[in-house]
Amino acid sequence: MLLRDIAHSRAGDKGDISNISVIAHDPKDYRLLEEHVTAERVKAHFAGIVEGEVQRFTLPALGALNFVLHHALDGGVTRSLALDAHGKTLSSAILSLDIPGPDAAR
């Protein structure tokens, strides 16, 4: 299933760093997010876009994960020649990450 089936996202950017939050629509799905949406998977999902480290912070009380993507904006919004590789675009792109559904065999 796609991440967008169980979550939505918010994002922002400062300089060359993008900050993306992934928030479960339903708190019962937070465990799926925590298990399958790792920093490594997010970095692989954004291969060729995110050149630096990806950090993940868990926010279980909010049913959310927060990712800080370093060197993600080709030098920063005002320096980039990319058409629209800003944080809000990345927040939409993360929702196309494919994760196992709740009924997947483990």
Distance CA 50, CA 57 (A): 17
pTM of the model: 0.85
* Per-residue pLDDT tens digits of the chain, which is 106 residues long: 999 999 999 988 877 888 999 999 999 999 999 999 999 999 999 998 899 999 999 999 999 999 999 988 766 555 555 544 556 778 889 999 999 987 764 4
Q: Kindly report the CATH number that applies to the domain delimited by 3-94.
A: 3.30.70
Cβ atoms of 9 and 92 within 8 Å: the answer is yes
Provide the b/e sequence for 24-56 (b: ≥16 CB within 10 Å): beeeeebebbbeebebebbbebbeebbeeebeb
